[in-house]
Amino acid sequence: MANEMWGGRFSTGPDALMEEINASIDFDKRLAVQDIAASKAHCEMLAARGIISEQDAARIIDGLSAIASEIESGAFTFSRALEDIHMNVEARLAELIGDAAGRLHTARSRNDQVATDFRLYVRDAIDHIRGQIRSLMLSLAEKAERFADVIMPGFTHLQVAQPVTFGHHLLAWVEMLARDDGRFADARERLNESPLGAAALAGTSFPIDREMTARALGFNGPMRNSLDAVSDRDFVLETLAAAAICATHLSRVAEELVIWTTPQFDFIRLSDKFTTGSSIMPQKRNPDAAELMRAKSGRVIGALVTLLVVMKGLPLAYAKDMQEDKEPAFEALDTLSLTLEVMRGMIADMEPNAQAMRAAAAAGFSTATDLADWLVRALGMPFRKAHHVTGRLVALAENRGCDLPDLTLDDMRSVEPAISEDVYSVLGVENSVASRASHGGTAPDNVRAMARDWIERLKSAA
Ligand code: ARG
């Protein structure tokens, strides 16, 4: 049987394999809510412009509402023969209200329809994900305030570098997430224009009102070029790019959690809710959730690459290739959303082991830079020379098998005779972090102020 939507010039229906590659209903049924909202806006505009009668419009709107309830309750039967969500809804509308249903598709095409639906869907997804990012940021900022004084090693090359505070480290994550939030906000702003009324590619000869449909759907206005309106998928690409960067951040955070929960580090304890045991080794507490978050970034990055490749050679305007935008986007946005939720749960329950962190921070000559800075400040030494002298003091301590603060004054003077007792005031890790009060530095007072600032900003925006 030829297709009932466009079968006029066809004598037979599609091959089963054609349906297999062509039908998108299995995944684009997720656009049902947006598809119905856009159809209602279009229908009301057609009636307002006198393109269809008020009676037909009323029947169409009632029919669409009935379909929305059927879909919500699970009573709707989706058909692969009807290809996609647009034709599934329209065919059901015809069953429910008869001939008037055929008037809904006046002055539009599935090309502007799908572009509109997907923009609405991605816009909702962005709003949801931004809410999740911000609640994760709030959890982190609250922890940062609570643990502003807890000292831990800061690393470069994963080698102990200088002492920092745990709160400072958590606030670094907050900054990363704040940029993610900003990228999603930017993508949302550019996305928020309506393709509806671009029709197949060239616009329409009907006297439609694109401002009206744009406003009804919460868009800032109609897109300016009909060819661009049906062929643009930048809004998905930008959202996936923001998602990929965010997932990369979460993966880096997850990696730190994995490292910190090893018995060798023992910096944090994750709650039982987010760890698993081993079926053979009873002593184990594995950070499976963190490992999975680290790995899930692959799917999100993969989705971005998939769609870039789909789009890269496409001539204007619409091509069916673009149907392949949905599955990767759904998967990426679902995955990111799950990851953000799990991360928030893990962070909320995470407890630092302050003793182990402090001990690790004090090891590995982590206050060597403080010593060099003291030589510059107290003795007027050029920094390069101070670096060299400090290097010799580190070597001496290493030889003695002790830490820098454990060297006697005589030991120190054997390397640099001008060193005085005052040097010890900069050598402990507490002194070290307290002294780093420069803008953005790790001093506990800085961290407390910054954490409070974030908490206020996030709470007042919520
Ligand atoms: N299911 C299609 C998609 O997702 C809708 C647009 C189809 N348009 C067409 N001319 N075949 O892209």
Q: Ligand 1, atom 11: nearest CA belongs to which residue?
A: 320
Q: Does any ligand 1 atom lie closer than 6 A to the CB of residue 85?
A: no
For residue 101 the two structure tokens come to: 């249903």
Q: Are strands 159-165 and 268-269 parallel, antiparallel or unpaired?
A: unpaired
Geometric angle at alpha carbon 52, from 46 and 56, rounded to 5°: 110
Active site residue 157: yes
Active site residue 86: no
Q: Does any ligand 1 atom lie closer than 6 A to the CB of residue 451?
A: no
Non-local (6+) Cβ contacts of 201 within 8 A are 109, 111, 226, 227, 230, 231, 316, 317, 318
In this prediction, residue 4 carries a pLDDT of 67
Q: Does any ligand 1 atom lie closer than 6 A to the CB of residue 323?
A: yes
For residue 206 the two structure tokens come to: 């009907």
Give the position, in ligand 1's atom list, of the atom nearest the Cα of 325: 4
Q: Ligand 1, atom 1: nearest CA belongs to which residue?
A: 84
In this prediction, residue 1 carries a pLDDT of 57
Q: Are strands 351-352 and 268-269 parallel, antiparallel or unpaired?
A: antiparallel
CA distances from 92 to 87, 109, 115, 306 (A): 8, 18, 21, 33
For residue 150 the two structure tokens come to: 């807890």
Q: Ligand 1, atom 3: nearest CA belongs to which residue?
A: 323
In this prediction, residue 22 carries a pLDDT of 94
Determine contact, residues 196/118, Cβ cutoff 8 Å: no
Q: Dihedral angle at the C-alpha atoms of 298, 303, 306, 310, nearest 10 degrees?
A: -170
Q: Per residue of the chain (462 residues), what is the pLDDT tens digit?
A: 567 666 777 888 888 999 999 999 999 999 999 999 999 999 999 999 999 999 999 999 999 999 999 999 999 999 999 999 999 999 999 999 999 999 999 999 999 999 999 999 999 999 999 999 999 999 999 999 999 999 999 999 999 999 999 999 999 999 999 999 999 999 999 999 999 999 999 999 999 999 999 999 999 999 999 999 999 999 999 999 999 999 999 999 999 999 999 999 999 999 888 888 877 777 778 899 999 999 999 999 999 999 999 999 999 999 999 999 999 999 999 999 999 999 999 999 999 999 999 999 998 888 899 999 999 999 999 999 999 999 999 999 999 999 899 999 999 999 999 999 999 988 889 999 999 999 999 999 999 999 999 999 999 987
- Cis ω before 37 (30° cut-off from 0): no
Catalytic residue chosen out of the listed positions 79, 271, 278, 425: 278
In this prediction, residue 322 carries a pLDDT of 97
Give the position, in ligand 1's atom list, of the atom nearest the Cα of 118: 4
Q: Does any ligand 1 atom lie closer than 6 A to the CB of residue 322?
A: yes
Q: Does any ligand 1 atom lie closer than 6 A to the CB of residue 88?
A: no
CA distances from 27 to 196, 297, 328, 424, 447 (A): 22, 22, 10, 66, 46
Question: Which residue, among 303, 296, 311, 292, has the nearest Cα to 330 in the 3D structure?
Answer: 303
Question: How large is the angle between the packed helices 32-48 and 85-97, nearest 10 degrees?
Answer: 60
Determine contact, residues 262/274, Cβ cutoff 8 Å: no
Neighbouring CB atoms inside 10 A of 55's CB total 10
What's the 141 CA to ligand 1 centre distance in angstroms?
Answer: 45
What's the 323 CA to ligand 1 centre distance in angstroms?
Answer: 6
Residue with token string 């995470």: 350
Radius of gyration of the chain (CA): 31
Instruction: Please state the pTM of the whole predicted model.
Output: 0.93
In this prediction, residue 187 carries a pLDDT of 98
Give the position, in ligand 1's atom list, of the atom nearest the Cα of 320: 12
What's the 207 CA to ligand 1 centre distance in angstroms?
Answer: 24
